[in-house]
Structure 1
Amino acid sequence: MLIHILRKYLLTLYCLAIYGVAFSQGTLGGQVRDSLTHEPLAYASVFLANTTRGVSTDANGRFVLTDVPTGHYDFIISYLGYKLYRQTITVANSPLVINAFLAKATNQLGEVVVHPNPNRAADYRHFEQLFLGATSFSRQCRIRNPEAIFVDNDPDKKLLTASSPTFVEIDNQALGYCIRYYGLRFQLDLQGQVFSFYGYPIFEQLATTSASKRRRWEANRRKAYLGSLPHFLKSVYDNRLTEEGYVVQKVQHIQNPKWQRADSLLRVQRAALQQQHRGFPDDSVRQWQQVSPRLSLLYRRPLPPDSVRGTQPNSEKVWLRFQNFIQVTYLRERPDRAYLDAILRQSSGASIAIAGAQPEVSLVSLLDKDAEIERNGHLINPLAILSEGYWAFEKVGELLPFDYRLPATE
């Protein structure tokens, strides 16, 4: 499962596994049948979410997936007229057998309510921009079946939602993948500017006979991977943060005393104007909203790698573990130009030179006491990490399958 939650479009809750190197492999197979009749379901789509590994069942509903890197996966089955099947599995060296029974989706479309909306086209564009992202790679992505997406704008709840009873098909011409995104659930809180989306994608290589295009895709995949959250986590596991180009610093948030005073004055003035039946001036609202509710203190001295990496004696287990927040800087790459443009639109002109010279910077916090990383980089609890900054800016345009690997020379 892949989950994103963004606040003001720069905060992300990741449900991502890493794309690391496979150290051992396993096999899984089984049969897909109707839950009531037990009849086999032929030509059902069977795949491991966030990978390139998928097959169709044969005429008897049977399937086999071989050479699967060991680790944890979301095992997904999709069949027209049936509910999406999902099971969390662990692939080990010994064969895994799964006999799945699918339930019919008798009211599959009944869950989607579409209100009359004169701005539906604008709502779809809003969804598309947030879902695909705004990076240079995102601009090379195209949704091939927009008719399969139901977008709803509820003005009372100030909520924009999107879903698909089948799947969303995306061509990423920057990375050379066709992505089928099953089980899409998208929600945007228009008032708080917080949005989330999740689902189960399967990747397929785009076909081409052009050698130059294949080289461009490989170069772009390398660029998308290096400096990413998956690359960072793999570097933590391998204890190679410095060698891979990362600097980690401690960040502490404190409450801004000016914000408490500004918030109190704003409420007093709003109440007084309401009693006089007068609206609140927009310029006054903007003035108070410029005061941040918190201040962030960045410790200049970099943290040693072992301060964010927990291990267990006589074991290969590794955890991402730290207190408060950390700022992660990737020194070997500059941010996407689109990200710099977005930052500069929120900054003064004097910040242009500084922003243009900055490397990629992200802020990370733990939603649990730690986050265990498997040997192949997969997070045992992928909901344990919350990110802000550059990693939150990257979305579907930079999305790579879990089984992506850097060229062997690297």
Structure 2
Amino acid sequence: MKKGLILLLLLVSSISFSQIVIKGSVVSERNEPLEGASVYFNNTTKGTITNAEGKFELKIKEGYYTLVISFLGYATKQLLITPQSKNKNLHITLKEDSSVLNEVVIRKTIYDDNWKYNLTRFKQTFLGRTKLAQTCKIVNEKDLHFEYSTKTNTLTAFARKPLTIKHQGLGYIITYDLVDFTLKEDRLFFSGFARYKNLRKNIRRKWKQNRLEAYNGSQMHFLRSLTSKKLKEDGFVVNQFKRVPNSDRPSEEKIKFAREFFKLYSRSVNLSKKITHPKTTLDSVIVTLQKAKLPKYRDYLYQKNVPYEDIITYDNKTPYLSFKDYLMVIYTQEPEEENYVIGMFGKRRKANGVQTSNIVLLEGKAQIDIQGVLMNPEAVFNEGYWGFEAFANMLPLDYQPTKN
């Protein structure tokens, strides 16, 4: 009995030691307590509201988080929480929100076919096209507003109120405060603050299974496997490749000239005509336009099974994703979804039976948090399968896979 009591005390001590306890109060600029202010750790299920005295208390596993504090009529505030922040008492002052977020645009928004088209593009890129994306519903769609620039082919979206997303597939109700959404050609960047809540107190078995499937092979899974050095046993293969300009594709100047010349040519032209040796300017234009369809770059694989030291580096025990050129991450335990194989425009590609993603470093290196996420998600760009898996397949930072 004594041994069991000692073991229990050690366990309790270990659990409390691994947690951060954040206490504090939220007040206005007049130092008045704000009752009902929302306080939560971004992208987690950990959150609360302030009491009549404006006070709150939260506990979470040690790590790096963004604490988000919001209250209607006040500007949202964010605070970085680190392992050194534990047991601190925070005094947070919110300022009244004097901004009029595109008030004129919002008043003029017409929910016509153009708005519906932009909404469809928003949902396809933000939520994604996976099976789980089909189980998501944005409850307050009409709080979304769009602007499109034909000059830059850029779609931007903003929302006056946080989006409420009912995720029937994963069993969450997600409040998402959209900060930025920019879709430029085929590149998407979005950011915001998310708070996850379980749809029900008792989590259904199907939700547990879906959450595990969403986790398996994800970037979070990969980064956790990388930092724990379990890539192979977790089903990951990492290769390295270079990306160089495709010498078979004409230059942009030649392509531009060919398109302008073709516009001026009055009579019908067969662009599928096979021309081995161009004899006229028109022949050269046809060849150029045919080759313009070739990819701009070619990828050359030069290392398989990249060692850990070529992927991850440490600075004062802080892990960083750091590598040369590009990484190809293959998850061998699950095949691609059918929608990925078909593609955005219905052009079916060859199914590989594995999930392949490419990682492009945009800032030289990217810090990895102990939860298995990047401190700055904009430091990398994901191609392939991770690019296909959008917001609907994301899990809260405090998610831990169930063990069989």
TM-score (norm 2): 0.83
- Equivalent residue for 2:301? 298
Q: Deviations over 1:219-250 (max 9, x none)?
A: 11111011000110111100111111111111
- Equivalent residue for 2:276? none
Q: Is the 8 Å Cα contact of residues 40 and 60 (structure 1) preserved in structure 2? A: yes
Q: Is the 8 Å Cα contact of residues 258 and 289 (structure 2) preserved in structure 1? A: no
* Residue number among 380, 385, 388 corresponding to 2:383 in the alignment: 388
The Cα of 1:138 is off from its aligned counterpart by 0.5
- 1:265 and 2:254 aligned: yes
Q: Deviations over 1:69-114 (max 9, x none)?
A: 1111111111111111122221447412221111111233445624
- Give matches, 1:245-394, under 5 Å: 245-261=235-251, 263-273=252-262, 287-299=290-302, 301-311=304-314, 316-342=317-343, 345-346=346-347, 355-394=350-389
- Equivalent residue for 2:46? 53
User: Aligned partners of 1:280 and 1:53: how far apart in 2?
Assistant: 63
User: Aligned partners of 1:305 and 1:124: how far apart in 2?
Assistant: 42
Taking structure 1 as reference, are residues 194 and 378 closer, same or farther at Cα in structure 2, changes over 3 Å only? closer
User: Aligned partners of 1:234 and 1:197: how far apart in 2?
Assistant: 23
Q: Which amino acid aligns with 1:232?
A: F
- Equivalent residue for 1:100? 92
- 1:79 and 2:67 aligned: no
User: Aligned partners of 1:359 and 1:113: how far apart in 2?
Assistant: 45
User: Aligned partners of 2:16 and 2:216: how far apart in 1?
Assistant: 18
Superposition CA RMSD, Å = 2.9
Please say which of residues 362-371 and 235-244 is displaced more in the overlay. 362-371
User: Aligned partners of 1:159 and 1:343: how far apart in 2?
Assistant: 18
Q: Gapped runs of 5+ residues in structure 1?
A: 1-20
User: Aligned partners of 1:384 and 1:154: how far apart in 2?
Assistant: 25
SS in 2 for 1:217: helix
User: Aligned partners of 1:376 and 1:193: how far apart in 2?
Assistant: 29
Q: Deviations over 1:190-213 (max 9, x none)?
A: xx333322100000001166xxx7
* Residue number among 30, 40, 65 corresponding to 2:33 in the alignment: 40
SS in 1 for 2:178: strand
- Equivalent residue for 2:137? 142
User: Aligned partners of 1:75 and 1:282: how far apart in 2?
Assistant: 57
Bigger relative CO (Cα 8 Å, ≥ 6 apart): 1
Q: Which amino acid aligns with 1:205?
A: N
TM-score (norm 1): 0.82
Q: Is the 8 Å Cα contact of residues 128 and 392 (structure 2) preserved in structure 1? A: yes
Q: Is the 8 Å Cα contact of residues 45 and 57 (structure 1) preserved in structure 2? A: yes
Q: Is the 8 Å Cα contact of residues 27 and 95 (structure 1) preserved in structure 2? A: yes
Q: Deviations over 1:137-165 (max 9, x none)?
A: 11011011112222333456543221112
Q: Is the 8 Å Cα contact of residues 162 and 184 (structure 1) preserved in structure 2? A: no
Please say which of residues 116-125 and 248-257 is displaced more in the overlay. 116-125
Q: Is the 8 Å Cα contact of residues 240 and 326 (structure 2) preserved in structure 1? A: yes
- Equivalent residue for 1:70? 62
The Cα of 1:125 is off from its aligned counterpart by 2.0
Question: What percentage of residue pairs aligned between the two structures are identical?
Answer: 29
- Give matches, 1:143-162, under 5 Å: 143-155=138-150, 158-162=153-157
SS in 1 for 2:222: helix
Question: For the pair shown, which has the larger CA radius of gyration, 1 or 2?
Answer: 2
Q: Which amino acid aligns with 1:50?
A: N
The Cα of 1:375 is off from its aligned counterpart by 3.4
Q: Which amino acid aligns with 1:207?
A: R
User: Aligned partners of 2:218 and 2:239: how far apart in 1?
Assistant: 17
- 1:194 and 2:187 aligned: yes
The Cα of 1:131 is off from its aligned counterpart by 1.5
Q: Is the 8 Å Cα contact of residues 23 and 376 (structure 1) preserved in structure 2? A: no
Taking structure 1 as reference, are residues 384 and 154 closer, same or farther at Cα in structure 2, changes over 3 Å only? closer
Q: Is the 8 Å Cα contact of residues 28 and 91 (structure 1) preserved in structure 2? A: no
